[in-house]
Structure 1
Amino acid sequence: MSLKSLLLKSSAHVEKHQIFGADTYIRRLTIAELDEYEHDLQEAQKTGFSSDASKAGAKLILKSICDENGKSIPEKDLPSPDELIKAHDTPTLLAAMSFVQKYSYGSVEEAQKN
């Protein structure tokens, strides 16, 4: 394996946690994925619609859900961001989003404290 390949090989940090009451595996998101969320959030703030920001958060949560090996779950097997925001209240969505962000930035212990 080349040095470039070794440097670009991501290490999956996958753990089982409850998201919206369902036992799921989640993975730490990459810097690029977190940046994409920040970009989506900035765009949502420009529209002035809080539902756009909620959809960006729902999308972030869905990206973190994976199988036990860190592989993404096919979209057909997950709800859409629209479906997710229709199913959950704001505090529940924010709690899940905050957990995913803290897990992605650090550790489960930090995410579970809040």
Structure 2
Amino acid sequence: MSLKASLLKASPYVEEHPILGVNVFIRRLTIAELDEYEHDLQEAQKTGFSSDASKAGAKLILKAICDKDGRPIPGEDLPTADELIQAHDTPTLLSAMSFVQKFSYGSVEEAQKN
């Protein structure tokens, strides 16, 4: 394997945690994925619709959910972002989004406290 390929090979950090009342495996998101979420939030602020920001957060949660090896769960096995925001109240979704963000930044202890 070349040096470049070795440096670009992902080795996801995965742990099992309760998210939205269900024990699931989640992985730390990449900087690019967190940046995409921030971009989606900025776009949502431009529209003025809070539901767009909620959908961005729901997508963030769904991206973090994986199998025990860090591989994404097939889309047909997960709800959509729209379904998540229809099923859960705002504080519950905000708590899950906050946990995923803190976990992704490496502060698991801080994420577990909240």
The residue matched to 1:106 in structure 2 has which SS? coil
**Could you say which residue in structure 2 is the equivalent of 1:52?**
52
Alignment-mate amino acid for residue 88 of structure 1: H
**Could you say which residue in structure 1 is the equivalent of 2:106?**
106
Q: Distance in 2 between matches of 1:107 and 1:14?
A: 13
Alignment-mate amino acid for residue 56 of structure 1: A
**Could you say which residue in structure 2 is the equivalent of 1:72?**
72
The residue matched to 1:73 in structure 2 has which SS? coil
1:23-34 correspondence to structure 2 within 5 Å: 23-34=23-34
Offset at residue 107 of structure 1 (A): 2.8
Residue ranges of structure 2 left out of the alignment (5+ in a row): none
- Aligned identity (percent) is 79
Q: Distance in 2 between matches of 1:108 and 1:13?
A: 12
Offset at residue 34 of structure 1 (A): 0.3
Offset at residue 45 of structure 1 (A): 0.4
Cα RMSD (Å): 0.6
Q: Distance in 2 between matches of 1:14 and 1:45?
A: 31
1:29-40 correspondence to structure 2 within 5 Å: 29-40=29-40
Aligned positions, number: 114
Which of structure 1's runs of 4+ aligned residues deviate more than 4 A?
A: none
Residue ranges of structure 1 left out of the alignment (5+ in a row): none
- Normalising by structure 1, we get a TM-score of 0.98
- Normalising by structure 2, we get a TM-score of 0.98
Offset at residue 2 of structure 1 (A): 0.5
Q: Distance in 1 between matches of 2:10 and 2:78?
A: 24
**Could you say which residue in structure 2 is the equivalent of 1:17?**
17
Q: Distance in 2 between matches of 1:110 and 1:10?
A: 25
Select between 2-11 and 94-103 the one with higher mean Cα deviation: 2-11
Q: Distance in 2 between matches of 1:78 and 1:109?
A: 27
Q: Deviations over 1:67-101 (max 9, x none)?
A: 00000001110000000000000000000000000
